[in-house]
Amino acid sequence: MKALRIAAIIAIPFVLAALAIGFFLFERQGGFAPYRVPDDNGRSVASDTATLQRGEYLARIGDCAACHTAPGGAAYAGGRGFATGWGMIYSSNLSSDAQHGIGAWSRAEFAHAMRHGVSRRGPLYPVFPYEHFATLADADIDAIFAWLRRVPANANVPPPNRLDFPASRRSALVLWRMLYYRPEAQAPAAASEDRGRYLVDGLGHCAMCHSTREAGGALAVDGYLAGGRIPGSGWYAPPLDAKQLQRYSVEQLATYLRSGASDHGAAYGPMAEVVYRSLQALTGDDALAMARYLKSVPARPRRDAPFTLLPEPAQRSIAASGAEVYKRNCADCHGKDGEGKSGEYPALRDAVATTAPDPINAVRMVLYGGFPAATAGNPLPHSMPPFVQQLGPAEIAAVTNYVRENFGGQRSYLTAADVEAMHGIVLD
């Protein structure tokens, strides 16, 4: 056994050298070949009114416009930046422009990019959720394609990605896929069999934010909808399972998906944007289907979030001063006992931010406030003001500890240094 271990250690440099040579030769040969199939073998994409309307709906609830539209830019013209652990990736142009968009693509090329993450221009980074879109039915992909081909052409050229090595070399995606990409791990769900799962796992790609990730950035096999930090955003996405969502009835959860508001809290941060740009367009039946499925997802073992930044926990006395900070700054809206006010100010008792294992949502809400989405179901949302200019890091740590301990049942030992570090995560 010892000899085998020694042999394995000796072999490591040779294996790494072989991989390096392989990648060098792979790049010299052009790397990942772009997928080009200009001929659809006589198969045409329908362009009737019903197909276009369905394609527009599916693209909306799939959040295509939100990801492929830069702030202040033309819809679907690309250029929105997404922060990752390796740098910034910019979304592509999906308009009907023949040169810079997808106007010259065939249906087969579009379907291949959606399902396999390889387009006319080469491999796509997994920030594009092709593993989820692989579950889509042919008819839905065709409808989305038909709609996108009607989007006005725009010649916008997104900025080049700004990524650190080795992620800056697309050939590195080969190794990443070998290690992490397991398309068979998500069995396709036919739309006619389980509409809720089809929407959650496919177009909704909820797992992209609400699942636990491995060190390489891939979604953990055992972390499906188990919650986790959203890469590059400084937000924690809570678990979506029967246990986490037990406070909601199916009807309440469906209403929350479409309105971003409920008696149990409101959507803030990335979820508020998803509701505003995407989920509020859900039909009542589709919202109910998603809610039923989410409430059937079994809970996964909770993974503690690595948020404690100091070697020793803070003294318990820091939470005592939090009660006074809360009384002065929070109780008027959220109530003396965190009960809130229905329809106006969300309750803090048992709220997601107070019960989550990761306190970053609670900290950043105190720091910067929050703005729920304005929707048909919540046309006049109440925003929370920021306290970053009024409270110091020690006070923010104290009030967060107080709220999480008293209203969320969490042991909370945040310090001023922790708050400053989270502030840095948000600003990076």
pLDDT value at position 221?
Answer: 78
In a domain, 391, yes or no: yes
Asked if residue 95 and residue 160 are part of one domain, the reply reads: yes
How many other C-beta atoms are found inside a 10 Å radius of the C-beta of residue 18? 11
What six digits make up the tokens of 351? 């709220």
pLDDT value at position 17?
Answer: 53
Asked if residue 363 and residue 230 are part of one domain, the reply reads: yes
Asked if residue 130 and residue 238 are part of one domain, the reply reads: no
Residue (of 370, 234, 275) closest to 63 by Cα position: 275
- For residue 418, the domain's CATH number is 1.10.760.10
Asked if residue 161 and residue 210 are part of one domain, the reply reads: no
Asked if residue 392 and residue 267 are part of one domain, the reply reads: yes
Distance in angstroms (rounded) separating the CA atoms of residues 304 and 225: 15
194 versus 57: which is more confidently predicted? 57
Residue pair 145/127 in contact by the 8 Å Cβ criterion? no
Asked if residue 378 and residue 256 are part of one domain, the reply reads: yes
pLDDT band at 233 (very low <50, low <70, confident <90, very high): confident
- The H or E element containing residue 329 is helix 317-329
Distance in angstroms (rounded) separating the CA atoms of residues 410 and 178: 39
pLDDT value at position 192?
Answer: 46
Which range of residues forms the domain containing residue 97?
49-183
In a domain, 140, yes or no: yes
Distance in angstroms (rounded) separating the CA atoms of residues 240 and 297: 7
Q: Could you read off the pLDDT of 69-82 as tens digits, one per residue?
A: 999 999 999 999 99
In a domain, 112, yes or no: yes
How many other C-beta atoms are found inside a 10 Å radius of the C-beta of residue 166? 14
Q: Could you read off the pLDDT of 348-373 as tens digits, one per residue?
A: 988 889 998 899 999 999 999 998 89
Q: Could you read off the pLDDT of 90-135 as tens digits, one per residue?
A: 999 999 999 999 999 999 999 999 999 999 888 899 999 999 999 9
Asked if residue 229 and residue 117 are part of one domain, the reply reads: no
Q: Supply the DSSP symbol for 41.
A: T
Q: Could you read off the pLDDT of 147-167 as tens digits, one per residue?
A: 999 999 999 999 999 999 888
Answer whether residue 58 shows pLDDT above 60. yes
Asked if residue 226 and residue 372 are part of one domain, the reply reads: yes
Asked if residue 223 and residue 157 are part of one domain, the reply reads: no
In a domain, 23, yes or no: no
Asked if residue 146 and residue 295 are part of one domain, the reply reads: no
pTM strictly above 0.95: no
Answer whether residue 63 shows pLDDT above 50. yes
pLDDT band at 178 (very low <50, low <70, confident <90, very high): confident
The total number of structural domains in the chain stands at 2
Asked if residue 308 and residue 345 are part of one domain, the reply reads: yes
In a domain, 194, yes or no: no
Asked if residue 372 and residue 245 are part of one domain, the reply reads: yes
pLDDT value at position 280?
Answer: 96
Q: Could you read off the pLDDT of 380-418 as tens digits, one per residue?
A: 888 899 999 999 999 999 999 999 999 998 888 899 999
In a domain, 259, yes or no: yes
